[in-house]
Structure formats: C-alpha cells, structure tokens
Amino acid sequence: MTWFTRLKNAVSSQQLDADLADEMRDHIERRAADLEADGLDSSAALNEARRAFGNATQFREQSRDTKLSAALEGTWQDVRYAWRGLRKNRAFAAVAVVSLSLAIGATTAIYSIVDASILRPLPVTQPKQLITLASVGDTSAIGGAADDAGFSYPLYEILRAAAGNAAKIALVDAPNRVEGQFGDGDAPREDLVQDVVSENLFDALGISPAAGRLFSEAENRLAAPRPVAVVSYDYWVRRFGADPAIVGKRLIINGKAYEILGVVRRGFAGVHAGSLVDVWLPIALTDPGVFSNAQFRPFALVGRLAPGVTRTQLAARLQPAFHNHQVARSEAGPAMADNERRRLRGMRIVAQPGATGISTFRQMFARPLWFLLGVAACILLLACANVASLLLAKSVSRANEMALRVSLGAGRARLMRQLVTESTLISILACIGGWFVARIVEPAFLALVSRDGNPVQLDLALDARVLGFSVMICALSVLCFGVLPALEATRFQPASALLRLRASGAGLRLGRFFVGVQTAVAFCLLSLGTGFLISLRNVTSVDTGFDSRGVTVLHMTDRLGPQQRDQQLAAMRAIQLNAAALPGVKSAATAWTPIFAGARRAQRVILPGHPPSDAAETFYRVSPGFLGALDIPLIAGRDFDVRDNDNEPVPTIVNRAFARKYFGREPVLGMEFQRDDSIRHQIVGVAGDSHYGSLRNGAEPIVYMPMKPTTSFTLYVRSTSDARAVGEMVERDARALAVGMRVRSVTTLHDLVNNTILTERLVAVIGAAFAFLGLILAAIGVFGLLNYSVTRRTKELGIRAALGARQWTLCRLVLNEVMRTMASGLVVGFVGFLIAIRFAEAILFDVRPVDPTVIGTAAIAFIGMAVIAAGIPAWRAARIDPVLALRQE
C-alpha cells in the first residue's frame, strides 16, 4: 500500500468503507452462487452464505481500524523516528535546517514582494475586466515613451465620452504624501498618502462604502466643486477607531478643509501597487488650469470593460477620438519639428490588462525582482544539494543499520519512506524557519527600495498564493534533496552490506555530483554578485560634476497664493540671503524643482539659420550663486546677478557639453540662440559639465537661466550642519520674514542622487548577500564530502602512511576526489553566469558581460573558499597516524 493511498484513506474513509463492503459482499455472493450450484434455492443459499461468513459488520470494523491506525501509526512512527534521528545528529540537523531556512526565507520574501507588487489582482470583483489605457508610438523617436506615458485631463474627457457604454473609464493621479490634520488649530499633524481621482473611480472598480458614501456625479461639477474627501478603511480604523460618526467631519489636508464623505470598504487601498492610499480627493478640486491643459499629462487612466467587450474592441473604439486629439495637439502652440509631429500623429491607444492596477514601483523593479527571484531559486537549489550531500554522507554511516533492517525483512519502500519522512521533517522545520527569515527580510527589503519620504508600502499579509508557494517550495526541496539520497541509501544487497563489502563508490559518485552542482551554482552566483557590486561601485564613483556632500535641499512653497512678481522674487532672494548667513552655512541658492528628482524642462534649441535641434535640451532656472553652492566650476564669463531677468535676450549660462554640441570649438560668450518657443537667449557664461537627472547617462548639455517667480522652488544650502538642523533654521527664518514662504520638505542632494540608483543598490546588496550565502553553502558541501571521504578511507590512508607515503601525496589523494568535479562545476557555473548576465545587463553599469575584473575577483574568492573547505580535510588526511588508523578496525 502506498503512502499516498494511506493518506487518502486517512483523509476520506468513505472510499475505504465502500471498498471493504464490496469485497465482503463479493465473498458472500460467490459462496451463495456455489451453494446454489449444489442445489439450494437462492434465498436459502444466501442465508447459508451469510451464516458461514459470520458477523460481517464486526469484521468490517476490524479491517477498517487496522487500515486507519496503520496509516496514522505508520506516519507517526516515521515522524518520531525521524525526530530521534535529527536529535541524535544535532550538528547535521542544525546545518541542514539553517541553510535551508535561509534559502527558503530569501525565496519566500522575494516571492511575497513579487506577489504583492506584480501578481496580486486588485481586491475588486471581476478584476479580469479591468484595464489600463496607454498610448504607444514610435519610442525610438526623441522624447521617447516616458514623455507620453501619462494622460491629460482634456484627453481623459474625450476618451471617457468615446468609450460610451463599452467601458467605464476613470482617472487617477499618482499618490503623494500630504500633511493631514483632523480638527482645527493645535490638532496634531500627520503624514497621509493622498490620491486625486475622477469621481467615477469607485463606481468603475465596483468599490462600495463601509460608511457614508463615495464620490458620485455631484463631485464632478468642475465649476463649483464641494470640498469633500473619502478615506480608506485602514486609515479609518487606525486613526478613528472605525467610528461611523466621522462622516461629515472636517479633515484638513495641506491647510485646506475637506468634509469626509465616507469610508471605502475594507481591503481597497488604491490602484497603485507600492502605495497604500489614506485619502482620496475628487479631481474637480484640483487647480482648474488642469482641465483645459492638454500638455499637462500626469494622469493614468483605468477602467472596467462592459461585459462582452474585449480590450481590442475598446481600443478600436477609442482610436479615432484619440487620433483627432493628437492631431489637434500637434498643431497647437509653436511650430513643432516635423518628426515630432509625425510621432504624435502616429500614436495609438491600447487597452492593457489592468487587474493588478498600476504601479511605478512595478515599472521600476519588476525586472530586478524577477531576476532576484531566479537567483533566490538558485540559492535554494544550492541549499538542497548541500543537504542532499550531507544526508548521503550520513546514510553511509547508517549503512549497517539499514543492512540489518533489510535482512530482518523490511521492504525497501518502507525504508525509503522513513528516510523521506526525515527529509520532509527537515524541510518543514526549514519552511517554518524560512517564514521567520522572510518576515525579517521583507521590511529590510522595502526599506532598501524606498525613497526618502516616499516609502514603498505593500500589503504583505499572508495570502493563499504565498502560502501555496511556500508549500510548493517545501515539497520541491524534499524532492530535490531527500529522494536521491534515500534511493542511494537503500540500494544494496543485505548480505554484502552486513559483511561491510558495500561499495560506497556509488555514494561518493552522487556526492561528487552534488559538489559539482554546488560549485556551478555558487560560482555563478558569486560572479553575478561581484558584477553587481562592481557595477554599484562604478555608478557611485561617477563624477557628477557637482559636490553633493553637505548640500541640503529644501522644497519651499508659497502658501499665500499669487503675489506681486517683484515681491515674490524679493522674498525668494531674502530667503536665500538669510540662509546663506546662517551659522555653518557656506552658501545658498534657489532654483526650480531640484536636480535628480525626476523632473526637467526640456526644449529644442534653434541656432540662427538652422532648423530646431533634434534633441530637447534641459533648461534650468537658477539664482545667482547656484554654481558656487553646488561646486560646479564657472569656466568662462560671469555668474548671474540680481539684475538678470527674463527679458530677451535672456542672459544664459550653458555648460561645456552644450557649448561643444552646438558651437564646437568656437568661443560661445555673447553668442545667441533661440528656444523652440522663439525666446532668444544670449550666452554670458560657461559652466563645467554636470549630471542633471541620472548617473548613468554621461554629462548632458544644460542651459541655466535666471529665476522667475514661482509658487514653489528649491533652496540649496551648503553647510556643515545636518539637513534637519538646516531645515529648522530656514523654517524659523521664513516665518520671521512673514512673506508667506514655508518649508515643505527637506532632503539632501546626496539622498536625491542615491534615490536614482535604488535598483543598482538593491540588486548589489541582495546579489552580494546571495553570493556570500552561496559561497558558504558550497564550502559546507565540499568540506562535508571530503571529510566523509577521509573518514571512509582512514584505513587505506593509514596503510599508505605506514608504507612511507609523503604527507603531500596523501593530501593529493584526497583532493583528487573533488578536483575534476569542481573544475567542471566551475565551467558550468561560468556558462551559467554568461547566460544570467544577459538578463541583468540592463541593471549593470559600466560592466561588460565578460569582464575580467568581475570574473577575476569571483575566481579568487571562490578559490580562497575551496582552499579552506578542501584544505582542512586534506590536512587531516596528511596527519593520519598509521598506528591509530590501522587499529581502528
């Protein structure tokens, strides 16, 4: 009876009962048929057959008990036996469970993040009907996909109308952090995640309220919107103790009051994987300029298909309206380059599956996450090979016991079952351990990918898929490391085993195979990890052209609304001067949105007598002293001064990259050029090259222009104090100035720069951790095999030593066992690395696929490991005392 049938019997005894009844009825019917053939009439024959059979019910009960208790007892016995075995070999058990725990933990952690951010559908009914809209076109053209990823509000209205009853289409903004305050005056301020959405979002997704009501048509009055907000279930419980009375109360967000309209039902926290939204505001409350501006395209469109409508049908239905809009867009405003116009007109609208919502986190990390999951799977394989070889070595030491049991009549299947139970027990323990490891690793992982002030939030609660994954991993690892050694351990003839004639050659062969696998996987991981580390080093040591250390970046906002132009400039100037005079501050300057924050203003450049440039260049408004504050050298000409303003020709500083690109070797001071909106610029200075938004691209052309009044700007402060202290001082100053300027957020230039290499950092940290883990596991594997081999060959080695073999010869004898395997493992690992690196090429910086530095470093680390792991047993072999060795038998 197989294990499986036993289990089936234990779980569903109905089938068992039916089988037993069938069998016994069969007997009685046969007996009755025979009696009838002897001449009895049919009813008498049946009675006689029943009498001869005896108490059928009682026998059935007996059989049933036998079978069920055998199922339970057998299993229980195996588990107890396995547990005893593990306790007897604590070192083995600890190594096996801990190494598997780490591997399973790493795999589970990465999987649950993959699950939460990539795979899990939104908690809505029929998520398969959900779509997201995207406009696609020739991304090879300038400007690329990033430029056109979003939708404008006017386009949203057009598409919503065009969709008609084929789909409900809703608009969402990217979630952002805001300052919330419940109640007036001194009520505490809290950090909230806010998302601005169209009023039909909840309706489209099919989300119901838990209290109050959600947005409706009433919130779509763009002319006179009522200030209302909807809060999330989580926030409602966390902040208000699920008090239904909060409906109708006032919530202050960024200084404005909103009436709480209702609470969204449990489980829904927005459509963005990676953020958990606390408060939703209707789009109608946003700056009215947005409603007519087709160039302002920060929004994403999600929707739900009507039953029976396919995504292709919807896209076809939207395409004409979309095309008209694109044509209108290409003709509006200043003249556009021909290829740009063609690109706009050639774009198509597509409806993509939207079951998992939208996520910038996903766009950024999906690829590295899948890659890391693959790497984690390799680690798991490595750990399995490790435990398998340990089990194998152990099984040899138990060969006598096994042989004895086979001789006493134990079936091979029965022994196998016991050994596999032991593996299963290890695996279950490791899964529990792995679960804890995952719980510890996950927050660390999220911290690693979070930006300052914008943490990645994922709902990592246990769900069926993650649980299923863990169970699958557990089962898979048993299959990987338990079954082969069990087959091996039970494969022998009892007689020869008892006589200790067992040829353990087979066991060793399998052990060598495992060492080969370990070598291959470990070397592959090690090279990858080294590659990632070197890539991170390369990207962090890029010369940005400015000095980011000690620069605090303050995001300043104007809370009083439009002011007189001169006043506002004067206020910005006052804040800059005051900041520069603070203790410990070397210099201060103001500018637009900070560099390395993902925003830029890009325009084409027109040289006199030339068509517009192909590429749009970066234009950045800065105050006098900006170059000095960032330590960007001024190579020629002059810095801005307070008298510079936006009057044409606009005084302009360009960097060398710009000068080289547009003017070659000609002197550029005094030269003029135009923007594509026909504004004239005159070059008054040349600055050193610097990076603007990314460490990866080289120094790009940048045009600096004088400041203009804006409602929000950046204050760069170079100082010796830390960012928080600078922030507090500036905030105090700004209040004292009473010009309506406030500090919105504080960060450092260093953090801003680092935020752009989160992926590199993530992959490097995790890749290096995996490489290290892999190396340790491989070391354990090699050590285990050789150590066992030395034990097995003690007698032989002793004889050789007695006959005068040199220590070195003995060493070599032992090392020979693994040399060839490890060499071929290295080759396989190298090939694996070459394949794997192709998938990682996009995240590597300045590392070639076959990079001698990477491979050299990995090889040195690996050989170092091998020398230690193989050296100890070899040393032991060399020092064998012939007298002791020969006496051992």
Partner 1 sequence: MRSSDSAKNALDLLVLTVLTRRGPQHGYGIANAIRHLSAEALRIDEGSLYPALHRMEEAGWIAAKWTVTEKSRRARVYEIKRAGEKRLAAETERWTAFSAGVSRVLRYA
Distance of closest approach, residue 787 Cβ to partner 1, in angstroms: 36
Number of residues that bind partner 1 (CB under 8 A): 28
Cα atoms in the 13 Å half-sphere on the side-chain side of 200: 17
- Other C-beta atoms closer than 10 Å to the C-beta of 634 total 14
How far is it, in rounded angstroms, from Cα 406 to Cα 414? 10
* 538 is a site residue for partner 1 (CB under 8 A): no
> Which of 12, 43, 66, 126 is in the footprint of partner 1 by CB under 8 A?
66
* 405 is a site residue for partner 1 (CB under 8 A): no
How far is it, in rounded angstroms, from Cα 846 to Cα 830? 20
> Which of 185, 409, 505, 583 is in the footprint of partner 1 by CB under 8 A?
409
What are the backbone angles phi and psi of residue 117, rounded to the nearest 5°? -100, -25
* 493 is a site residue for partner 1 (CB under 8 A): no
How many Å from the N-terminal Cα to the C-terminal Cα in the chain? 41
* 46 is a site residue for partner 1 (CB under 8 A): no
Distance of closest approach, residue 15 Cβ to partner 1, in angstroms: 12
3-class DSSP assignment, residue 457: strand
* 76 is a site residue for partner 1 (CB under 8 A): no
Residues in Cβ contact with 801 at an 8 Å cutoff, skipping those fewer than 6 apart: 810, 880, 881, 882, 885
Distance of closest approach, residue 59 Cβ to partner 1, in angstroms: 4
Distance of closest approach, residue 13 Cβ to partner 1, in angstroms: 14
* 30 is a site residue for partner 1 (CB under 8 A): yes
Q: Which is nearer to partner 1, 25 or 848 (CB)?
A: 25
* 8 is a site residue for partner 1 (CB under 8 A): no
* 22 is a site residue for partner 1 (CB under 8 A): yes
Q: Which is nearer to partner 1, 406 or 703 (CB)?
A: 406
* 24 is a site residue for partner 1 (CB under 8 A): yes
How far is it, in rounded angstroms, from Cα 511 to Cα 484? 10
Distance of closest approach, residue 404 Cβ to partner 1, in angstroms: 14
Is 398 within 8 Å of 513 (Cβ atoms)?
no
| DSSP symbols for 799-819 | HHHHTT--HHHHHHHHHHHHH
Q: Which is nearer to partner 1, 409 or 609 (CB)?
A: 409
Q: Which is nearer to partner 1, 23 or 722 (CB)?
A: 23
Distance of closest approach, residue 4 Cβ to partner 1, in angstroms: 15
- Other C-beta atoms closer than 10 Å to the C-beta of 753 total 21
How far is it, in rounded angstroms, from Cα 33 to Cα 25? 12
> Which of 320, 411, 443, 667 is in the footprint of partner 1 by CB under 8 A?
411
Q: Which is nearer to partner 1, 333 or 411 (CB)?
A: 411
Q: Which residues pair with 741 in a beta bridge?
A: 558
- Strand (E) or helix (H) holding 342: helix 338-345
Closest CA to 472 of 119, 115, 107, 96: 107
Query: How many H helices and E strands in the chain?
Result: 28, 22
* 55 is a site residue for partner 1 (CB under 8 A): yes
Is 180 within 8 Å of 192 (Cβ atoms)?
yes
* 56 is a site residue for partner 1 (CB under 8 A): yes
What are the backbone angles phi and psi of residue 744, rounded to the nearest 5°? -90, -50
How far is it, in rounded angstroms, from Cα 314 to Cα 168? 11
Distance of closest approach, residue 18 Cβ to partner 1, in angstroms: 10
Distance of closest approach, residue 40 Cβ to partner 1, in angstroms: 16
Quick one: which segment of 48-56, 244-252, 487-495, 681-689 binds partner 1 (CB under 8 A)? 48-56
> Which of 8, 213, 367, 414 is in the footprint of partner 1 by CB under 8 A?
414
> Which of 7, 12, 15, 26 is in the footprint of partner 1 by CB under 8 A?
26
Is 350 within 8 Å of 71 (Cβ atoms)?
no
> Which of 3, 36, 48, 53 is in the footprint of partner 1 by CB under 8 A?
53
3-class DSSP assignment, residue 547: coil
> Which of 42, 44, 59, 164 is in the footprint of partner 1 by CB under 8 A?
59
Quick one: which segment of 404-412, 637-645, 790-798, 805-813 binds partner 1 (CB under 8 A)? 404-412
How far is it, in rounded angstroms, from Cα 314 to Cα 131? 10
3-class DSSP assignment, residue 402: helix
* 1 is a site residue for partner 1 (CB under 8 A): yes
How far is it, in rounded angstroms, from Cα 826 to Cα 778? 12
Q: Which is nearer to partner 1, 58 or 816 (CB)?
A: 58
Cα atoms in the 13 Å half-sphere on the side-chain side of 855: 14
Quick one: which segment of 58-66, 345-353, 512-520, 690-698 binds partner 1 (CB under 8 A)? 58-66
Q: Which is nearer to partner 1, 491 or 887 (CB)?
A: 491
Q: Which is nearer to partner 1, 438 or 497 (CB)?
A: 497
> Which of 3, 8, 10, 27 is in the footprint of partner 1 by CB under 8 A?
27
> Which of 12, 42, 43, 62 is in the footprint of partner 1 by CB under 8 A?
62
256-264 and 228-231 beta bridge pairing: parallel
* 70 is a site residue for partner 1 (CB under 8 A): yes
* 37 is a site residue for partner 1 (CB under 8 A): no
Q: Which is nearer to partner 1, 495 or 850 (CB)?
A: 495
Is 382 within 8 Å of 369 (Cβ atoms)?
no
Quick one: which segment of 65-73, 117-125, 567-575, 758-766 binds partner 1 (CB under 8 A)? 65-73
Encoded amino acid at 129, one letter: Q
Q: Which is nearer to partner 1, 58 or 165 (CB)?
A: 58
Q: Which residues pair with 411 in a beta bridge?
A: none
Quick one: which segment of 16-24, 205-213, 513-521, 673-681 binds partner 1 (CB under 8 A)? 16-24
DSSP 534: H
Preceding amide of 649 cis, omega within 30: yes
> Which of 52, 499, 602, 850 is in the footprint of partner 1 by CB under 8 A?
52
* 721 is a site residue for partner 1 (CB under 8 A): no
Distance of closest approach, residue 64 Cβ to partner 1, in angstroms: 9
Q: Which is nearer to partner 1, 22 or 338 (CB)?
A: 22
Is 654 within 8 Å of 701 (Cβ atoms)?
yes
| DSSP symbols for 50-71 | HHHH--HHHHHHHHHHHHHHHH
Q: Which is nearer to partner 1, 63 or 563 (CB)?
A: 63
Is 300 within 8 Å of 151 (Cβ atoms)?
yes
Is 414 within 8 Å of 135 (Cβ atoms)?
no
Distance of closest approach, residue 79 Cβ to partner 1, in angstroms: 18
Quick one: which segment of 49-57, 424-432, 647-655, 757-765 binds partner 1 (CB under 8 A)? 49-57
Quick one: which segment of 51-59, 423-431, 549-557, 692-700 binds partner 1 (CB under 8 A)? 51-59
How far is it, in rounded angstroms, from Cα 539 to Cα 532? 10
How far is it, in rounded angstroms, from Cα 648 to Cα 681? 7
Query: Whats the size of the chain, residue-wise?
Result: 889
Cα-to-chain-centroid distance, residue 432? 22
Q: Which is nearer to partner 1, 63 or 330 (CB)?
A: 63
Q: Which two tokens stand for residue 865?
A: 């490991």
Distance of closest approach, residue 54 Cβ to partner 1, in angstroms: 3
How far is it, in rounded angstroms, from Cα 265 to Cα 232? 7
Quick one: which segment of 102-110, 406-414, 681-689, 733-741 binds partner 1 (CB under 8 A)? 406-414
Distance of closest approach, residue 37 Cβ to partner 1, in angstroms: 13
3-class DSSP assignment, residue 618: strand
- For binding to partner 1 (CB under 8 A), which residues are involved? 1, 19-20, 22-24, 26-27, 30-31, 52-56, 58-60, 62-63, 66-67, 70, 409-411, 413-414
